[in-house]
A and B are shown apart, each in its own frame.
Chain A
Amino acid sequence: MRSPRLILAAFTVLFVLPLCVLAGYAAAPGWTFPEIIPARLSGRAFALLAAQGPRIALAMGGSILYSLAAVVLSFLLCLAPAKLFARTSFRGKALLEAALLAPALVPSMTFSMGAHYAFIRLGLADTLPGVILVLTMFSFPYMLRALTAGYGAFSEKYALCAQNLGAGPLTVALRVELPLLAPAAAAGGSVVFLVAFSEYFLVYLIGGGAVPSYSGLLFPYLTSSDRSTASILTLLFLSVPILLFFLTDALLRLFTRGSRMTP
């Protein structure tokens, strides 16, 4: 009994209390220590939110769009190498795996310097495809790791079995392997989405301000003295991953129909 209570207490302290503080700031810009309860409430931040609705929606829409696109692109890019890493053994495999995972280990600023130069030359700077591409390049290692683990979690004999029953490669991939891979894809996709959605620097550098992004909208508020608006925008920012979690769970249930994998 003690352990679940301890976990609940830790969860409350680490996650719920900071949210309460954010909500407090949103409703009471002047709330400061040592006040326990805000002395004065203000609806100014909410009014600002309502007034800037279209701008916020555009930024949010842009972020969701390029994050989802990065998820889809990284998924498609990682399918073949993940299968290769999970199913085969070859000389230099560890080295190649390390090289492909490297972008996740390199700081985004280091990563972006070379990428920016190349993107300018390719005409991808200040464009949405450029932002999608750079976010995919930066975040695909998370998808690669997840899909490699996903392929490793089920036997390649499922594909052989389907093939033996007369299925072509497309049917094998879509009807047999994809549902088996769905949990791993969801895990990898969630991380890629969150990395892409919260990325500020790469989007700012490659998008050049021409690509609307929520992190770009939020960042000036975070550095300003307008704690109230920053808090409410942060809460809105937080709602996206939470919604994503429930959406992914629902999709996963629908896609795999709640069934468990047999060994």
Chain B
Amino acid sequence: MFFACRDITKSYGNKPVLKGVSLTVQAGELVSVIGPSGAGKTTLLNILAGLDRPDSGELRFAVPPSKKRPVIMVFQDYLLFPSMTVFENAAFGLRARNMKKDEIRRRVCDALDYFQIADKANAYPDELSGGQKQRLAIARAMAPGPSLLLLDEPFANLDPNLKQDAAAFIKRAQREFGVTTVAVTHDLAEAFVMSGRIAIMLDGALAVTGTPEEIHKNPGGLEAARFLGPVNRIPASLALAPGPGQGFTSGGALYLRPQDLGLRKDPQGEALVQGRAFTGRYYIYEVALADGPLTVHSLQNGIVPGDRVRLFIRESAPAAPPTPIKETA
């Protein structure tokens, strides 16, 4: 164990933000806490960083943090010091530790080299691109050799096309430096790419923890499943029989991912398509059934409003463990 928090609670005024969070992280792990805005992720990170104190609960490190083994956080807006050059920013933590000039120069140059911003050493933060700013913020945090690195929304200020590259870069750097890392983000794809383990935080509590694959297959609850992506709720009256390991059932209803559910044109079909919208990755169909309207997220194309359709479960749908889930929403 590197650190463990047990039943951490935190309230601001009368508003509870963390409601008994327990999380254990092993040395060298990269764990991402994902969840919607306002779920309490950053509060948890602030507590781990020592910038805030929990109201109750326990945070225990195997080796307590110290100036030599610090916990360093990379803030969401990077907070690069605007009056300092890239070099001075990266050297800030080392100078704060009164290191010798030669040692500072060596470590900063190594860090800037690794993070591919050595040619910008004399530039100021406002002369850097978004990706460079992020790399500088991480380089500045890594230079003092933290025992725990905390990343607060590391992709929030990046262009969408840079996010995946940044996630891969962070994963590579984390492995190479071997520093235990906890990131909080609501960028799911990036969290899945870079993390060894993921914890989903909803409304101040951790809903589920596991590897990205485990989380995807078994999100542990409908709310968490919905946070990971759209879920189709098929009423029991439709009597669609899922194949082995497909979808989740709850309260007689069946829950399927868009890729698992298809629509087929059928004049005798049980549903009438009333609307269609393309999200870029899948379609959202508004269909009317005998017992009410239904929103269907599907990859199916070629169906237009006015068509009668039949719903079916795709044979090619990837198998998922048949874990019944609790309906929480």
A258 surroundings in chain B (CB, below 8 A): 124
B84 surroundings in chain A (CB, below 8 A): 175
For A179, give its contact among B49, B82, B126, B140 (CB under 8 Å): B82
A165 surroundings in chain B (CB, below 8 A): 72, 92-93, 96, 140-141, 144
Closest approach, in angstroms, between the C-beta of A33 and any C-beta of chain B?
Answer: 54
Number of A interface residues in the complex (CB < 8 A) = 26
Closest approach, in angstroms, between the C-beta of B246 and any C-beta of chain A?
Answer: 46
Q: Is the CB of B82 within 8 A of A261?
A: yes
B interface footprint on A159-175 (CB within 8 Å = 1, 0 otherwise): 01110111110010001
Q: Is the CB of A256 within 8 A of B96?
A: no
Number of B interface residues in the complex (CB < 8 A) = 28
Closest approach, in angstroms, between the C-beta of B283 and any C-beta of chain A?
Answer: 37
Closest approach, in angstroms, between the C-beta of B242 and any C-beta of chain A?
Answer: 48
Q: Is the CB of B125 within 8 A of A164?
A: no
B141 surroundings in chain A (CB, below 8 A): 165
B interface footprint on A194-228 (CB within 8 Å = 1, 0 otherwise): 00000000000000000000000000000000000
Q: How far is the CA of A161 from the CA of B71 in the complex (A)?
A: 12
- Which residue of chain A has the shortest Cβ distance to B50 in the bound complex? A164
A166 surroundings in chain B (CB, below 8 A): 67, 70, 93, 96-97, 144
A40 CB within 8 Å of chain B:
no
- Which residue of chain A has the shortest Cβ distance to B81 in the bound complex? A176
Q: How far is the CA of A256 from the CA of B70 in the complex (A)?
A: 29
B79 surroundings in chain A (CB, below 8 A): 155, 157-158, 161, 262
Q: How far is the CA of A256 from the CA of B126 in the complex (A)?
A: 12
A260 surroundings in chain B (CB, below 8 A): 82, 126
Q: Is the CB of A167 within 8 A of B81?
A: no
A182 surroundings in chain B (CB, below 8 A): 83
Closest approach, in angstroms, between the C-beta of A24 and any C-beta of chain B?
Answer: 45
Q: Which residues of B contact A (CB under 8 A)?
A: 49-51, 67, 70-73, 75, 77-84, 92-93, 96-97, 124-126, 133, 140-141, 144
- A-B contacts, 6 of them at CB < 8 A, read A158-B79, A164-B72, A165-B141, A166-B70, A256-B83, A261-B82
Q: Which residues of A contact B (CB under 8 A)?
A: 155, 157-158, 160-162, 164-168, 171, 175-176, 179-180, 182, 255-263
Closest A-B pairs by Cβ, 8 of them: A179-B83, A166-B96, A165-B93, A161-B79, A259-B124, A167-B96, A259-B82, A260-B126
Given A167-B96, A260-B82, list of 9 further CB < 8 A pairs? A155-B77, A162-B92, A164-B70, A165-B140, A165-B144, A179-B83, A258-B124, A259-B83, A259-B126
